[in-house]
């Protein structure tokens, strides 16, 4: 696992720390706690980074190919190959040159140089964007190319990507027309 000391400082500055009575930051969520840090030094400002918060979980990325997630994981939304909750950032390994990450209800997607998108977590309504009957996808799975992705946003059970050619691509639950294709009901690929 990589040294995440600078991540601890970023999370502290961003105010991203939970409420817990548990000394290990675990599941007892009754009282506010102060952030702690095991940082070795200052945040390297030459590194691009970002974070996203889903429903009861969070993810962090850097331009140095680091993706880490922590929190609830019943649907594999942390991408570490398990469905076990993680109370500290868990490194997903070298996924490649990350440009951004987005989180939804219980799924996550990252986009990369070259236009690749990888998603993981709940696929109950097709929100991962893969042609599969798998309900849970606990590791990052590549989607079919859409073009150069500029940004992504994820809802509770759907996902959208904005590409360089100003096109919006959405997939997943369309129960109230959220994929924007002119109808509602069911799931869309």
Is residue 29 helix, strand or coil?
A: coil
Rounded Cα–Cα distance for residues 114 and 97 (Å):
9
Predicted pLDDT at 186: 63
Predicted pLDDT at 133: 83
Rounded Cα–Cα distance for residues 9 and 42 (Å):
8
Residues paired with 29 in a beta bridge: none
Half-sphere exposure (Cβ direction) of 116: Cα atoms closer than 13 Å: 11
Task: Find out whether 35 and 67 touch, Cβ atoms under 8 Å.
Answer: no
Tokens of 44: 């390297």
Q: Which residue has the higher pLDDT, 146 or 65?
A: 146
pLDDT tens for 149-186 read 999 999 999 999 999 999 999 999 988 888 887 777 66
Task: Find out whether 121 and 106 touch, Cβ atoms under 8 Å.
Answer: yes
Mean per-residue pLDDT for 48-74? 92
Nearest residue to 115 via CA among 80, 81, 152: 152
Tokens of 88: 């500290």
User: Which helix (DSSP H) or strand (DSSP E) does residue 7 occupy?
Assistant: helix 5-14
Across the chain, mean pLDDT equals 80
Mean per-residue pLDDT for 50-60? 95
Query: What is the pTM (predicted TM-score) of this model?
Result: 0.76
Rounded Cα–Cα distance for residues 61 and 169 (Å):
23
């Amino acid at each position: 696992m990589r040294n995440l000391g600078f991540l601890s400082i970023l999370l502290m500055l961003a105010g991203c720390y939970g409420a817990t009575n548990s000394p290990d930051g675990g599941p007892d969520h009754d009282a506010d706690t102060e952030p702690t840090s095991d940082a070795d030094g200052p945040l390297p400002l030459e590194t691009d980074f970002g974070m996203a918060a889903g429903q009861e979980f969070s993810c962090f990325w850097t331009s140095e190919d680091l993706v880490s997630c922590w929190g609830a994981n019943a649907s594999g939304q942390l991408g570490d190959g398990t469905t076990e909750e993680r109370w500290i950032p868990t490194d997903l390994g070298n996924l490649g040159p990350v440009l951004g990450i987005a989180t939804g209800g219980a799924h996550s997607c990252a986009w990369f140089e070259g236009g690749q998108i990888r998603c993981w977590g709940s696929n109950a309504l097709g929100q991962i964007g893969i042609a599969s009957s798998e309900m849970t996808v606990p590791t990052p799975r590549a989607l079919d190319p859409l073009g150069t992705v500029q940004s992504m946003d994820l809802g509770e059970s759907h996902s959208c990507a904005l590409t360089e050619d100003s096109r919006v691509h959405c997939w997943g639950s369309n129960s109230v027309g959220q994929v924007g294709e002119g109808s509602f009901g069911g799931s869309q690929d």
